[in-house]
Amino acid sequence: MTNQELEQLLQDMESDRVERKASISDPDKICQAICAFANDLPNYQLPGVIFVGIHDNGNCTGLTITDKLLLTLADMRANGNIVPFPTMTVQKHTLNHCEVAVIVVQPADAPPVRFKGCVWIRVGPRRAQAAAQDERVLSEKRRTKDQPFDLRPVDAATLDDFDLEQFRRVYLPSAVSFDVLEQNQRSVEDQLKSLRFITVPGQPTVLGLLTIGNDTRQFLPGAYIQFLRFDGTEMTDPIKDQKEIDGSLPDLLRSLDSVFEAHISVATDFTSQALEQQRPDFPLVALQQLARNAVLHRNYEGTNAPVRIYWFSDRIEIQSPGGPFGQVTRQNFGQPGITDYRNPNLAEALKNLGYVQRFGLGIQIAQRELYKNGNPPLEFMVEDAFTLVIIRK
């Protein structure tokens, strides 16, 4: 948006596309505003704007707009509290001789957007939590054009292909705030629509089948992990263990963690002071981060290939179907701050289930854990059809 457009919005005290904040002392309210503008309940199909450094009456607060403040605001997009990811920009502007930070939030393609499990909307000039009818409206205005693959309907599937007990017991409490659940005004179908597990007409989506499907591979044959443990350093060496790990997302990742824990070896060393130190050949957290990245970022469309985890005597190789996506390229792959999401709604599901704490940090966390454990740095092979990461002892 141009400075002229921003100044016009800033001066319009009646506009419900604008919020003004004197400071960032209450970041939750800023996140609620981001969420509300992303949901765009009035269906303006225009961006909402948050001015930081402006009083409610439009006067300048004189807030110093530092790089740290801008980074704090930008981090609200990917810190895991607002899901799915809002499309927003954060910039420093001088408007009417006042220095301000400007957050421009675009309407979401796949509402409702939640902050800490609550759906926030604009009701005239104020924010409010969405009622059941509001959530139905947001679900119905979801744009079907150019949807990511994880929101595509699966024609052959029905609600009978969902584990609804797991949905009620495991997923729903992790995705929706306690206060909203306590109201208990939403039918199961409305809840599934709100969380994008089914379309508005009621057709299961890829996301729904991956997250709570009874038999995901019936519809997505490659949605599993092939695990092989070799007794040597080559694929021609004898196989010590092999598994096909599948199931709904919570079951698949829980089973994978058990496999990792069973295969990690822990060596005991004694220092010069005869103090005992235990060191695993591979740190569990690093393997978890890299495997979850493979499940999240893989290509589920047009391939029946699984995620492959090959465990050799000197290394582990994790191969994920699909090459780099969006702003990620072969040249910048793995660099801090460079991330994009082929399956953004699956990322939300992983966050809700507690397998992701913050978005975009999986590789950095793995590198840190490997360094602390004494392992060499990660090695990557990034091709158009697959991505391979090698973790060495």
Residue 267 predicted with pLDDT over 90 = no
Handedness of CA 365, 175, 258, 159 (dihedral sign): negative
> Residue 357's pLDDT is what?
78
Distance CA 128, CA 363 (A): 37
Q: What is the CA radius of gyration of the chain?
A: 23
Sign of CA dihedral 362, 282, 226, 249: negative
The lowest-confidence range among 76-80, 149-153, 162-166, 254-258 is 76-80
Give the mean pLDDT of 102-131: 92
Q: Which residues contact 222 (CB under 8 A, 6 or more apart)?
A: 300, 303, 304, 305, 306, 321
Region 227-245: mean pLDDT is 97
**Interior/surface letters 221-234, b for 16+ CB within 10 angstroms, e for the rest:** ebbbbbbbbbeeee
Residue 110's SS3 state is coil
pLDDT level of residue 296 (50, 70, 90 thresholds): very high
Q: What is the predicted pLDDT for the residue at 150?
A: 95
CATH numbers and ranges of domains, the chain = 3-127 (3.30.950.30), 144-215 (no CATH), 225-392 (3.30.565.60)
The mean pLDDT value for 375-383 works out to 96
Per-residue pLDDT, 315: 98
What are 303's strand-pairing partners?
A: none
pLDDT tens-place string over residues 18-30:
999 999 999 999 9
Q: Which two tokens stand for residue 68?
A: 């740290």
Reported as a pLDDT band with limits 50, 70 and 90, residue 385 is very high
Q: Is beta strand 307-311 parallel, antiparallel or unpaired with respect to 266-270?
A: unpaired
The pair phi, psi for residue 128, each rounded to 5°, is -155, 160
Stretch among 35-44, 120-129, 232-241 having the lowest mean pLDDT: 120-129
Q: Which of 46-50, 341-345, 357-361, 382-386 has the lowest mean pLDDT?
A: 357-361
pLDDT of 274 over the 60 cut: no
270: pLDDT confidence band, cut at 50, 70 and 90? low
Helix intervals (H) in the chain: 3-11, 27-39, 67-75, 132-140, 164-166, 172-175, 178-183, 188-194, 206-212, 249-263, 284-297, 344-352, 362-373
Q: Give the number of other CB atoms < 10 A from CB of residue 269.
A: 9
Q: pTM for the full model?
A: 0.82
347: alpha, beta or left? (left if phi > 0; alpha if psi -120 to 50): alpha
Q: Residues 59-111: pLDDT tens digits?
A: 999 999 999 999 999 999 988 899 988 999 999 999 999 999 999 999 998 89
The reported pLDDT for the residue numbered 360 is 83
Tell me how far the alpha carbon of residue 161 is from its chain's centroid: 24
